[in-house]
Amino acid sequence: MSITRLAIVYFGFWLALAVGHAAPAPTPVAAKPAETTKPATIVEPEMDFWVMRYSDPKCEPDCPEWIAAEGKIVPQTSAKLQRFLADPAVRKLPLVLNSGGGSIYSALSMGRMLRKYKMDTAVGKSLFNSCPPKRGNLGGCNPDPILKAYDGRATQMRAYCASACPLVLLGGMHRVVDQLSLIGLHEPIGQTQPYVDHFWIKYRMVHGKKQIISRSFVKRTYMAKKTVVGITPKLKMELSSYIREMGGSLDILAEMDKAAPKDMNWISYHSYERERLGLVTANFRSLDSLVAVNVCTDRLGKSINCIHLKAKEPYVAHPFER
């Protein structure tokens, strides 16, 4: 019986799924239906989250609030959202999305998070009445110390949710997208990173057969990255499971296949495709049903996101309101 040492290699693959390729923001043209509008090329900053309040004397002290979610979805975005939602008071607010997409796996994690907290989602662009928040190297302001939020409004105009963003939208209990807001799907694109794992194997021969005694990892050597376009079998299985979990239609996968990563398949409002796919829960429901002034003026049933200002913190009108 002899003891022999042998170095062997093990081939594996590492998938860097920032799959989802952020889509450029579209610029609607009034003369054409929204879903036929072609996007303009812009570069989105990473997605950030802010609490917004429709601060107006007509609804105060019970004006609606929402979470503005704007920018590109990157692998770290889901963790950022988790930190943001650590405050239970924030979880009662709807999440209003304006994004060209990005990482698919981050989007899936975000969607499951929203469903866990039974939050609503919508597509809309959040507009700031006063100083906007800081983003990257751009200057900005902190939230209003009285409102504990940024004052502003949300609009359907020029709002879009494309690529991986509709997967986040699916996470909402109620999902709202106006006629002029855009929803787009396309094939995912990602990269595989092949690698070689090196191990040190110690074995011995027993009756002419190798019997492994120990196996120790030595190092990993990465090879050239390869681009993967389309829905792989593994990704299809994961997306199918998620879509069923969220109550969407598996036809979403077919709609993704209709456009290459550089193009976009805009889902029509007029043919009720959004509702059929489960991307909206009611085709006729508008963004105003979540964030407009009147959702908090109805005494018979105020929305859950109507946040009351304490009496000792009176609302002060901004100069443009006087």
Which residues are paired to 26 by β-bridges? Answer: 39
Domain boundary among 179, 204, 226: 226
- 72 and 173 part of one domain: yes
79, containing H or E segment: helix 77-84
**140 compared with 121, residue with greater pLDDT:** 121
Cβ atoms of residues 199 and 219 within 8 Å: no
pTM over 0.85: no
Q: Which of 102-111, 268-277, 309-318 has the lowest mean pLDDT?
A: 309-318
Residue 321 falls inside a structural domain:
no
- 268 and 172 part of one domain: yes
Q: Is 85 helix (H, G, I), strand (E, B) or coil?
A: coil
Taking the C-alpha atoms of residue 91 and residue 87, their distance in angstroms, rounded to an integer, is: 7
- 211 and 65 part of one domain: no
- 63 and 201 part of one domain: no
- 208 and 303 part of one domain: no
Token readout for 283 is 């085709």
Residue 268 falls inside a structural domain:
yes
Residue 291 to residues 133, 146, 165, 184, 303, Cα–Cα distance (Å): 20, 19, 20, 23, 9
Tell me how many domains the chain contains: 2
DSSP 86: T
* CB contact set of 265 (below 8 Å; sequence gap of 6+): 184, 185, 186, 255, 256, 258, 259
Does the pLDDT of residue 153 top 90, yes or no? yes
pLDDT of 35 reads 37
pLDDT of 318 reads 47
Residue range(s) defining the domain that contains residue 213 = 3-12+191-226
**17 compared with 305, residue with greater pLDDT:** 305
pLDDT of 26 reads 52
Backbone angles phi, psi at 91, to 5 degrees: -70, -15
Half-sphere exposure at residue 27, Cβ-oriented, CA atoms within 13 angstroms: 3
pLDDT of 13 reads 38
Residue 161 to residues 78, 93, 184, Cα–Cα distance (Å): 17, 19, 6
Taking the C-alpha atoms of residue 273 and residue 255, their distance in angstroms, rounded to an integer, is: 10
Taking the C-alpha atoms of residue 221 and residue 7, their distance in angstroms, rounded to an integer, is: 15
pLDDT of 41 reads 45
On average, the pLDDT of the chain sits at 84
- 123 and 74 part of one domain: yes
Does the pLDDT of residue 129 top 80, yes or no? yes
Residue 320 falls inside a structural domain:
no
Q: Which of 123-132, 162-171, 191-200 has the lowest mean pLDDT?
A: 191-200
pLDDT of 299 reads 63
Q: Which of 62-76, 115-129, 192-206 has the lowest mean pLDDT?
A: 192-206
pLDDT of 300 reads 59
Residue 106 falls inside a structural domain:
yes
- Mean pLDDT (whole number) for 2-18: 41
Residue 115 falls inside a structural domain:
yes
Q: Is 77 helix (H, G, I), strand (E, B) or coil?
A: helix
Which among 233, 165, 220 is positioned nearest to 193, based on CA atoms? 220
Domain boundary among 208, 226, 244: 226
Residue 286 falls inside a structural domain:
yes
For the stretch 194-203, pLDDT in tens is: 788 999 999 8
Taking the C-alpha atoms of residue 195 and residue 258, their distance in angstroms, rounded to an integer, is: 32
Residue 74 to residues 97, 276, 291, 320, Cα–Cα distance (Å): 15, 28, 27, 37
Cβ atoms of residues 138 and 166 within 8 Å: no
Token readout for 159 is 């709002």
Give the CATH number for residue 184.
3.90.226
- 127 and 202 part of one domain: no
Residue 297 falls inside a structural domain:
yes
The radius of gyration computed from the CA coordinates of the chain, to the nearest angstrom, equals 25
Q: Which of 17-26, 51-60, 306-315 has the lowest mean pLDDT?
A: 17-26
Domain boundary among 226, 248, 274: 226
Taking the C-alpha atoms of residue 111 and residue 165, their distance in angstroms, rounded to an integer, is: 10
- 206 and 271 part of one domain: no
- 100 and 215 part of one domain: no
Half-sphere exposure at residue 144, Cβ-oriented, CA atoms within 13 angstroms: 22
Taking the C-alpha atoms of residue 110 and residue 90, their distance in angstroms, rounded to an integer, is: 15
Residue 265 falls inside a structural domain:
yes
- 212 and 95 part of one domain: no
pLDDT of 60 reads 87
pLDDT of 112 reads 98
Beta-carbon count within 10 A of 171 CB? 25
**191 compared with 245, residue with greater pLDDT:** 245
- 201 and 117 part of one domain: no
For the stretch 28-58, pLDDT in tens is: 443 333 333 344 445 789 999 999 999 888 8
- 136 and 209 part of one domain: no
Which among 263, 259, 279 is positioned nearest to 181, based on CA atoms? 279
For the stretch 220-279, pLDDT in tens is: 988 887 778 889 999 999 999 999 999 999 999 999 999 999 999 999 998 899 999 999
126-130, 158-162, 207-211: range with highest mean pLDDT: 158-162
